[in-house]
Each structure stands twice: as structure tokens, then as C-alpha cells.
């Protein structure tokens, strides 16, 4: 007898002609907005000065800022009929999906610099009109809900999303037009059904699992893959280590501790009594409590800050200490080359620590972004409410 999932998959295949095997969505690596700011010799304060009235002094309370300026992995989707193409971040720390609207103001510069959804050009558009409003630091992500056909890889489904008429200036240099959220539905604004829930509801994949592979070759524009419906063994070695989700909003779990290996017999530990962590595919950074992050950066010889990040001597990256993230009693080790990002400006290479301070106002203490996932293929199992980690292939 066929397993139930394959039986359902077969029925779906016969009914709607969709292959229910694992769906692969290619990810594109682009220069992050932080990298572009380095090239343009500007910073976030200069960009925000374009917006009137002048914003209040920025503090470290906006994790969205860090997410935005350190995003570098995007994928392609299309919406409506005929299809309108967009580049999006597939983000496990968001539940909602939003896209800039053709109806945004001419004076909203970030919107004008991106692809915009035009409902009038889509024959499959369904009006909703519910107001959508999220505060991002000193700015608002403002729009309204609409429904249309989403095309992700070769999957198609009716999806409600936010048409944004005010795109925050944080996204001025972002390569992505918008965001497709992959967090739990309890985190969704206005009760909108997230994309992956909708995929499961329509039985378009065999298993309630999605996973991320991030290509570690920073010279390649091929960023990796998002897999819908399972995991691809060719991109990881060995078996997964699973940890249960502790809070079904973010993909949040409990981490035992973090050890920075000073010598063969000595390590400096952080998160000593355990701490709550989220997986955040919308950024490349690793964030943690300010005191811990400052100490880690001190121990890896990072000192001068550049655009809010610590700089590391590039010639010493190969000598930097290993850092172990202890999860379910197992060490997940990152070497210097894994937690240092290289950026080149006018032929000069700058090396930045991936460790960024976060003040913990969202119910978790640490977050692990694409820098961690590039070392460890990560599986998100919504059926069993768990996260799996396996050593990623080069």
C-alpha cells in the first residue's frame, strides 16, 4: 500500500496536474544593501535623511534594519495573469507576504525603484481592501490586502497578500521587491493565511516541510535553493539533528549555549543557562545580546565599526577561533571563514563580523541567519514542529 502522503500526492497529480515531488526554488545572491552603501560611500542616516520629516534618532530596537541591510538572498515569483515578475526574500521571521503596489505615491522613492504589482493588468485579481500596516522603526509598511494567483516555481495558488503603497526607506537599496513570509500563521497580521500553509492546504507538496541550502561560494551569484515539500540529500552530509520548536510564531527553539574556543582546553561560554533562538532566513547576520556580542567581537579581534558592524583584519580570518553553537547537546561549529563576510570596495576588501547586537525585545535572545545556514543545511518541519540541522555540502 502507498504511504498516505504519496497517495494524496498521486490524487493531486491526477486532479490538477501538479508534480508533488520536492519543489526547488533557486535563490540568487546579490550584494547586500550594506555592501552597496559601502560602494556608494553613504550610510543609513544619509538615506533616512531623504525622508521628511527627519526621523527620530535611531536606536538598536529595530531588528528590521539589520535584516534589511544584510539581506543578500532572493528568489523569483510571479503574480497574476498575465504573470508579473518579482524578486522576494523568503523569510522565516515573517508570516505575511507583501509586494509594492502600482498605486504607491510617485514621491515614495523606494517603491518607485522596485517592480510594482498592477492589479488592473491581472485578470485573476480579487479585491479585498483590508488595511495592512506594520511599524518598522521610524517608518510604516502601509498598504491593503489583495488576492491573486501566485506562481512559485511551477506551483500556482490563490494567495492573499499586502499591496504596499508606502515602502519604508529602509528598502531603498534592497534588491528584493518584497517578502514572502514562512513563519507560523499565529504571527500573521490580519489573519492572512501564509503562503506555505496555503501550499499545504492545496496539497501541492507531499510533506509539510521546507528547507534551505545556502551556497557557501561568495563569488557565485547562485545563492542556493529553497526546497518545498522536503529536503534534498545532495546538499547535505549525514543525518539531521532535530530540535523542537518552542514558540509557534517564529521558528524558535532552545539552544544549550555558545562556546568560543580560545584554546584546546579553554572556551569562553555565552548563553550559559540556555537561551531562546530563532532561525531567520531574511538576513545573513547572527544576532545576540549586546554584552555577549561585544565580548565575542573583542575575542575575534574585531574592533572598528563600519555601518553598525564590527570589522575584522582580513589577513587573520584563517586564524580566528572556532565558535560552537551547542544545540541538543551537539556542537555546530563555525570557523572564521563561516562567520566573517567579505566585501570589496574599489579593490579594497573589508571583512565584517557576522555578529550583531540585539536587545531581545521580541521574545528571543539570539537569531541565526544565512551565515549559519550556509554551514548547516536547515529543515523546517511544520508537521512535527521541529527544526533539523545537517552539515551542508560545499
DSSP 8-state symbol, 191: G
Measured over the CA atoms of residue 170, residue 174, residue 180 and residue 181, the dihedral's sign is negative
Instruction: Please give the Cα distance from 350 to 313 (Å, whole number).
Output: 8
Sheet arrangement for strand 340-345: 305-306, 309-312, 348-353, 340-345
Q: Which of 177, 256, 280, 381 is catalytic?
A: 280
Q: Are strands 340-345 and 275-279 parallel, antiparallel or unpaired?
A: unpaired
Q: Which residues of 73-108 are buried (b: 16+ CB within 10 A; e: fewer)?
A: bbbbbebbeeebebbbbbbbbbbbbbbbbebbeeeb
Instruction: Give catalytic status of residue 91 as yes or no.
Output: yes
Q: Are 364 and 190 in contact (CB under 8 A)?
A: no
- Three-state secondary structure call for residue 260: strand
Measure the CA–CA gap between 19 and 56, rounded to whole angstroms.
51
- Local structure of 388: helix, strand or coil: strand
Active site residue 292: no
Please pick, among 91, 139, 259, 292, the residue that the annotation labels catalytic: 91
Cβ-Cβ contacts under 8 Å for 348 (sequence gap 6 or more) = none
Contact 145, 129 (CB under 8 A): yes
Q: Within 169-264, where are the H helices? A: 195-201
CA-to-CA dists, residue 140 to 2, 108, 165, 313, angstroms = 50, 12, 10, 38
Write 254-258 long-range contacts (CB < 8 A, 24+).
255/325, 255/326, 255/327, 255/366, 256/326, 256/327, 256/328, 256/329, 257/326, 258/288, 258/292, 258/323, 258/324, 258/325, 258/326, 258/366
Catalytic residues: 91, 280
Amino acid at each position: 500500500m502507498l504511504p498516505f502522503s504519496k497517495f494524496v500526492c498521486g490524487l493531486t497529480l491526477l486532479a490538477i496536474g501538479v508534480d508533488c515531488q520536492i519543489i526547488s526554488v533557486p535563490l540568487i545572491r546579490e550584494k547586500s544593501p550594506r555592501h552597496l552603501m559601502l560602494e556608494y560611500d553613504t550610510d543609513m542616516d544619509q538615506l533616512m535623511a531623504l525622508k521628511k520629516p527627519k526621523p527620530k534618532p535611531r536606536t538598536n530596537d529595530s531588528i528590521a534594519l539589520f535584516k534589511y541591510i544584510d539581506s543578500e538572498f532572493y528568489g523569483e515569483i510571479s503574480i497574476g495573469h498575465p504573470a508579473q515578475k518579482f524578486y522576494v526574500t523568503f523569510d522565516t521571521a515573517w508570516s505575511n507576504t507583501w509586494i509594492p503596489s502600482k498605486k504607491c505615491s510617485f514621491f515614495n522613492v523606494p517603491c518607485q525603484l522596485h517592480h510594482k504589482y498592477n492589479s488592473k493588468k491581472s485578470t485573476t485579481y480579487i479585491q479585498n481592501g483590508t488595511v495592512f500596516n506594520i511599524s518598522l522603526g521610524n517608518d510604516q509598511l502601509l498598504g491593503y490586502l489583495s488576492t491573486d494567483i501566485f506562481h512559485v516555481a511551477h506551483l500556482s495558488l490563490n494567495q492573499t497578500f499586502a499591496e504596499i503603497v508606502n515602502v519604508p526607506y529602509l528598502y531603498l537599496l534592497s534588491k528584493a521587491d518584497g517578502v514572502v513570509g514562512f513563519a507560523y500563521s499565529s504571527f500573521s497580521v490580519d489573519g492572512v493565511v501564509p503562503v506555505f500553509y496555503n501550499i499545504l492546504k492545496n496539497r501541492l507538496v507531499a510533506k509539510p516541510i521546507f528547507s534551505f541550502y545556502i551556497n557557501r561560494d561568495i563569488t557565485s551569484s547562485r545563492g542556493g535553493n529553497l526546497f518545498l515539500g522536503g529536503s534534498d540529500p545532495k546538499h547535505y552530509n549525514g543525518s539531521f539533528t532535530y530540535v523542537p520548536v518552542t514558540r509557534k510564531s517564529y521558528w524558535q527553539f532552545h539552544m544549550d549555549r555558545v562556546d568560543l574556543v580560545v584554546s584546546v582546553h579553554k572556551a569562553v561560554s555565552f548563553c550559559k543557562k540556555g537561551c531562546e533562538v530563532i532561525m531567520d532566513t531574511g538576513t545573513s547576520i547572527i544576532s545576540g545580546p549586546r554584552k555577549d556580542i561585544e565580548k565575542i567581537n573583542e575575542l575575534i579581534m574585531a574592533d572598528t565599526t563600519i555601518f553598525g558592524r564590527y570589522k575584522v583584519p582580513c589577513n587573520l580570518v584563517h586564524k580566528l577561533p572556532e565558535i560552537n553553537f551547542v544545540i541538543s547537546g551537539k556542537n555546530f561549529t563555525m570557523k572564521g571563514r563561516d562567520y566573517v563576510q567579505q566585501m570589496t570596495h574599489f579593490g579594497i576588501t573589508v571583512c565584517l563580523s557576522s555578529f550583531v547586537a540585539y536587545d531581545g525585545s521580541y521574545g528571543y535572545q539570539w537569531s541565526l541567519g544565512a551565515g549559519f545556514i550556509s554551514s548547516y543545511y536547515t529543515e523546517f518541519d511544520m508537521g512535527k514542529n521541529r527544526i533539523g540541522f545537517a552539515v551542508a555540502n560545499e
